[in-house]
Amino acid sequence: MHDTSKVALNVKKILCFALLRGQPARLPGSKAIGWDFGVFEMPKILDGVAIAAAIKLEVAEEVRALTAQGIRPGLAAVLVGNVAASEIYVRSKVQTCADLGLYSELITPPDSVTTEEMLDLVAKLNGRDDIDGILIQLPLPKQVDTKALLDAIDPAKDVDGFHPVNAGRLQAGRPALAPCTPAGVIEILKRSAIPISGQHAVVVGRSDIVGKPAAMLLLHQNATVTICHSKTRNLGEITRQADILVAAIGRPGFIKPEMVKPEATIIDVGINRLTTREEFDRFFAGDAKREATFAKRGSTIVGDVHPRAFELSSAYTPVPGGVGPLTIAMLMANTVRAARMRRGL
């Protein structure tokens, strides 16, 4: 008998070499492929939709417990102007609040709003005891000073986790409201039983919203963390060392197969919309399901990882259906946590 884990690794190395040489890398079979020397297991898909649903159930239970104590967590969502995509996204957050039993309030200032008017609004929300979380949907109109506005939010109500005070607390390992997407990444890994402690985690992307906090959260879980970005020299040499590879650089298909270590876990944070046939064929040529979506909608989305790179992994988050659903779930969790922390519970 052969060690099937070693066989799986060797097969994925063969796939990697094939991908590097531009040869077809897909092997026949749907779940597992029988060989006379072992079994090749297909990568595990980390189901963000299911994980988000589980978190929401937990949040709903916490809300019921707090409500029984006379506390109903509340979220104020501020949406400036009439940006269709932002409106859909914010309304989905408000609806999720209703579904889970949280109080929510949607505030919609006009496009012409000034920084001073927005600062006044934030000050009023900071002073309301029925509001535990304040969410300001970005981007804001160019006449509004976004940084000043985000800094004006009470850190105790900063459920997006963007305030410098929360960033500092997160770095220091003290109780803080962490940004929702990076917190969701950790939940995916933990709830999927992916080891973090002692693993080499490489984060590609250094934004204050995802890259930096994701690296800090992984470090707090005892991973050895490397942060890379678009200016990193010999990037592929570093990403090929990753046991856990987090792609959050905002470029479609940036992580190529040759940049992935066989058997790595890949967390793809990116969401990039493809609208041209040329773009589509770069990533999804021959994919009938994606082709149908593209034909119907005139677009499809791809992450920051080239789809063929997933074949080399032991587990990965798909796009869509991976990290994305966790963002709203963690926003709800942060709102409940803020309600508890503000009351010393």
- The CATH number given to whatever domain includes residue 130 is 3.40.50.10860
Per mean pLDDT, which range of 48-62, 190-204, 287-301 is the poorest?
A: 287-301
Is 242 found in the same domain as 191? Answer: yes
Is 246 found in the same domain as 259? Answer: yes
> Distance (Å, rounded) from C-alpha 81 to C-alpha 327?
23
Q: How many domains is the chain built from?
A: 3
Q: Which of 91, 67, 79, 102 is nearest to 333 (CA)?
A: 102
Q: Which domain holds residue 228?
A: 179-326
Is 225 found in the same domain as 125? Answer: no
CB contact at 8 A, 138 and 145:
no
Is 139 found in the same domain as 156? Answer: yes
pLDDT band at 15 (very low <50, low <70, confident <90, very high): low
Is 284 found in the same domain as 166? Answer: no
pLDDT band at 209 (very low <50, low <70, confident <90, very high): very high
Q: What is the pLDDT of residue 83?
A: 82
CB contact at 8 A, 283 and 241:
no
Measured in whole angstroms, how far is the alpha carbon of residue 307 from the centre of its chain? 17
Is 195 found in the same domain as 321? Answer: yes
pLDDT band at 236 (very low <50, low <70, confident <90, very high): very high
Is 204 found in the same domain as 165? Answer: no
Point out which residues pair with 227 in neighbouring strands. 203
- The CATH number given to whatever domain includes residue 231 is 3.40.50.720
Burial class (CB in 10 A: 0-12, 13-18, 19+), 119: middle
Q: What is the pLDDT of residue 13?
A: 52
Angle among Cα 94, 207, 272 to the nearest 5 degrees reads 65
- Residue spans of beta strands (DSSP E) within the chain: 32-35, 38-41, 44-45, 74-78, 103-107, 133-136, 200-204, 224-228, 244-247, 265-268, 272-274, 300-302, 315-316
Is 272 found in the same domain as 141? Answer: no
CB contact at 8 A, 108 and 68:
no
Sign of the Cα pseudo-torsion (208, 214, 217, 222, in order): negative
Residues known to be catalytic: 93, 137, 160
Interhelix angle 164-172/211-220, rounded to 10 degrees, is 30
Q: Does residue 51 fall inside a structural domain?
A: no
Is 1 found in the same domain as 132? Answer: no
Is 110 found in the same domain as 233? Answer: no
- Residue 197: is its pLDDT beyond 50? yes
The residue among 10 and 191 whose pLDDT is bigger is: 191
Is 266 found in the same domain as 188? Answer: yes
